[in-house]
């Protein structure tokens, strides 16, 4: 076995693998943004499930985003994932709520008390449901 031939072949394979890894780096940035956006959407879906339970139990969304499990989700999203989160109710009745969080593409993903999800380019939300936006 020719040691130098083996060593040069190993070096060429190593250079090829390194080149492919560096070529993939620009695409990985977008993958991480997608993961972050999917996490935001997932957490907002959890909040939407809480909205449905609250609407059945209490029929009021007073302090919806500042109490209970929803408050933990809000704090986690603000601390780790999004730069902007809006929680809007129709005071003083408080029987409608919409929550929107900013995604990496600067659009806002919203969930409402009716079970509808939407993505909008403006903020804060203009209505209390995705159908009004």
pLDDT value of residue 133? 74
Task: Write the pLDDT tens digit of every residue in 49-89.
Answer: 999 888 888 888 988 999 888 999 999 998 888 888 999 99
Residues 6+ apart with CB under 8 A from 48: 99, 111, 112, 115, 117
**Cα separation of 121 and 114, whole Å?**
21
Q: E strands within 35-115?
A: 85-89, 97-102, 108-112
Two tokens at 23? 């070529």
Predicted model pTM: 0.73
φ/ψ of residue 60, rounded to 5: -145, 145
Strands 97-102 and 108-112: antiparallel
Classify 61 as helix, strand or coil. Answer: coil
Give the per-residue pLDDT at 30: 57
9-53 pLDDT, tens digit per residue, is 777 877 878 777 777 666 666 555 567 889 999 999 999 999 988
**Domain ranges within the chain, ordered by starting residue:** 3-120
φ and ψ of 54, to 5 deg: -65, -40
pLDDT the model gives residue 24: 67
């Amino acid at each position: 076995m020719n040691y130098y031939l083996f060593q040069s072949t190993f070096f060429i394979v190593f250079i090829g693998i390194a080149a492919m890894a560096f070529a993939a780096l620009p695409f990985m940035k977008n993958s991480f943004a997608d993961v972050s956006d999917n996490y935001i959407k997932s957490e907002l879906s959890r909040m939407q499930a809480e909205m449905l339970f609250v609407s059945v139990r209490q029929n009021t969304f007073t302090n919806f985003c500042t109490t209970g499990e929803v408050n933990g989700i809000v704090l986690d999203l603000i601390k780790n994932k999004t730069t902007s989160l809006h929680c809007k109710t129709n005071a003083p009745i408080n029987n409608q709520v919409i929550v929107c969080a900013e995604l990496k593409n600067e659009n806002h993903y919203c969930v409402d008390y009716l079970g509808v999800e939407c993505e909008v380019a403006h903020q804060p939300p203009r209505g209390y449901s995705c159908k009004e936006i």
